[in-house]
Chains A and B, each alone.
Chain A
Amino acid sequence: MNGVHRSSSWHRRRRDALAGFAFTAPAMLHTLVFMLVPAGAALYFSFTEWDMISPAHWVGLRNYQEILFDSDLYPDFWKSVRVTALYALLSVPASLVTGFVQAYLIDLLRRGQSLYRLVFYLPVITAEAAVAAIWKWLYDPQFGLINAGLEVLGGTGPDWLGTPGVVIPALALIAAWQSGTAMLIFLAGLKGIPRTYYEAAEVDGANRWQQLGRITLPLLRPTTFYLVVTGVIAALQVFGIVYVLFGGNAGPERSGLSYVLHLYLFGYRNGAMGAASAMSVLLFVTVLLVTAAQFRLVPQQYEE
């Protein structure tokens, strides 16, 4: 009896191993060909001087050394690091808070939920070129809708995209406006909280604010954690919105020079693809470390 059982479980394990490899083989092969090979190539090129159109010359660690320590050759490298860090610090909370508020309010409604969902999702699906044109107009220092609104309220708005210190907050505002994905995911999270929790809290006499603080937010912690991790990864790689808004100029005093824009300009405009590859390796390592740190330091789960 025992022997039969053992052999059938052995068979099953063998068949599972085969199935596991077979199921993952296409995706792994694809990852190998279209991600790992190019990534390996980028790693190799990071040790070379290479302009894409002539053979690469091996230079060892020189690119890394110069990028990190030579502020003459790369005067704006550390600036791009600061710009990107600030952008992540501002845009991730901005879009998460906006997305949560939208989701929380929508969740209260009896009707009209799907209409609000669509409207708050529209900014996500609008083409990037249109987004840039629209926000340039909204932020215009003379005719912009935002400053016009501030004037009605008795204030004066800054020259949003023309003042170095204001550029990153202005970009974070755009990120908040595009918080539709976070809204949807929060909404799904809210809908998954068992109603009995709230009923019990009501019996205990907790008001809505207390319910929000004691039930809703703690139970949304896994959702929030997921959004923070993916949001930070995306923010550290921000490129599209800066590029369509400012082009290669990166805004006043290059205050919108994100890390990936800096990398792009060196690789594709200045023809320093070797150095750009080194920058991408540095970014990859940083993102990896930041993500790992988040897994270690941030509470992911609601502990009862």
Chain B
Amino acid sequence: MSAAKTVDTAPAVGTAPSADLGTRTSGRRRRRRHDAPIALLATAHVLLIGGVVVALAPFVWMVATSFKQPQDVFTPTPNLLPTDARTGQWAGTFANYLQVLDLGGFAVALLNSVIVVVVLIPGKLLLDALAAYAFARIPFPGRDALFLVVLATIMVPGVALLIPKVFVTQELGMGDSLAGVIVPSLVSAFDIFLLRQFFLTLPGDLEEAAMIDGAGRLRIFWSVALPLAKPALAVVTITSFIFHWNELLWPLVILSDQDRYTLPLALQALAAGRVAQPHLVMAGAVIAVMPVIGIFLVFQRRILDGIQLTGLKS
């Protein structure tokens, strides 16, 4: 079943593909792909390493710049390493990092960002999964119409709704608070879509068995469906984390008090003023990207399982 196809023809409950989750997963782990010959493997490695250079060079430049002194950033011939522009001697420095960490409110901003992701991500996982489960597995009147409404919201350009959304958030008394950052993002149509595709692939007999045992829908959702959805939830976790960790515009318009600033807002000060300070901006970017890499490393195995099981494959 394709993700796409299910949009217009939502299948009835119980017709989900009969793929056996358990054996599929373990089968994939055991299997070595294709048994490619050495020559092909070598070619693949060479091409990939070429790709790595392309993918990595900008990242390396970001890290290198974060260790440069201001006068060594723009050299007549581009210089990857933090060396002195005139003498070519090593001139790397930690000063940029110290300056970033010394930013007024950096620690507070870090804490605020952590609060936002720690509250927001479990919250949206729960709300999105609840809705996605119902859209996928529970027959109820008007279900497809409601789902289409959710889907259509993906196609609305976000910048156009910024001002009305600020008005709504302020009317609800959440202006200038972390709640105003968190609550409006608690539901994501895209994630509901993704999770629904996953729930559609769950085998129906598990639910049937639970129902015969007298379990209600909430119980089935909580103890049967949700544990099986861990891989898909991992996808939502990492994509949401990246998005909200780096998000600038919404917190910017909704927050005024600097004590409530999130990390991207605090780092914005580094790019403020007309004097560009790439060495500081890059140090800030490196600090900001660290947790994202950590999250990616932790969840990447699950992501692969997750994306595969989101109903993209028959």
Give chain A's interface residues, CB within 8 Å of chain B. Answer: 13, 15-17, 19-21, 23-24, 26-28, 30-31, 33-39, 41-42, 45, 52, 101-102, 105-110, 112, 114, 116-131, 133-135, 137-138, 140, 143-145, 148, 177, 184-185, 187-189, 191-192, 195, 198, 208, 221-223, 225-226, 229, 233, 237, 239, 260, 263-264, 267, 273, 276-277, 279-280, 283-284, 287-288, 291, 294-295, 300-301
Contacts and interface: CB of A to CB of B under 8 A. Distances in A.
Given A26-B130, A33-B168, A143 B140 contact: no
- Give the secondary structure class of A's interface: helix
Contact of A38 (B76, B134, B165, B221): B165
Interface string B191-228: 01000000000000000000000001110010000000
A127 B289 contact: yes
Contact of B161 (A28, A42, A288): A42
B92 interface: no
A30 B127 contact: yes
A237 B36 CA distance: 41
A222 B3 CA distance: 7
A119 B55 contact: yes
B285 A114 contact: no
B148 to A, nearest CB: 11
A300 B61 contact: no
14 contacts: A13-B139, A19-B138, A21-B140, A28-B150, A34-B169, A39-B164, A42-B161, A108-B40, A122-B56, A130-B281, A144-B78, A177-B55, A188-B312, A276-B160
Interface string B16-42: 000000001000100111101000110
A222 B200 CA distance: 15
Contact of B134 (A24, A127, A279): A24
Interface in B149-184: 149-150, 152-161, 163-165, 167-169, 172, 184
A225 B2 contact: yes
A39 B162 CA distance: 10
Interface stretch (B82-90, B101-109, B297-305): B297-305
Nearest to A286: B155
Nearest to B154: A233
Given A37-B168, A102-B51, A16 B139 contact: yes
B146 A127 contact: no
Contact of B5 (A28, A191, A237, A300): A300
B139 A27 contact: no
Given A37-B164, A143-B78, A188 B156 contact: no
Interface of B: 1-5, 7-8, 24, 28, 31-34, 36, 40-41, 44-45, 47-48, 51-52, 54-59, 61-62, 76-78, 127-128, 130-131, 133-135, 138-141, 143, 146, 149-150, 152-161, 163-165, 167-169, 172, 184, 186-187, 189, 192, 216-218, 221, 242, 246, 264, 271, 278, 281-282, 285, 288-289, 292-293, 296-297, 300-301, 303-308, 312-314
Contacts of B48: 102, 105-106, 109, 116
Contact of B36 (A33, A108, A276, A277): A108
A157 to B, nearest CB: 14
A184 B307 contact: yes
Contacts of A108: 33-34, 36, 40-41, 44
B47 A105 contact: yes
Given A108-B36, A223-B312, 7 more contacts: A17-B139, A26-B127, A120-B51, A148-B78, A187-B304, A188-B306, A301-B314
Contact of B296 (A121, A133, A279): A121
B311 to A, nearest CB: 9
Contacts of B292: 125
Contacts of B184: 34
Nearest to B163: A52
Given A20-B139, A109-B41, A134 B167 contact: no
A284 B285 contact: no
B131 A24 contact: yes
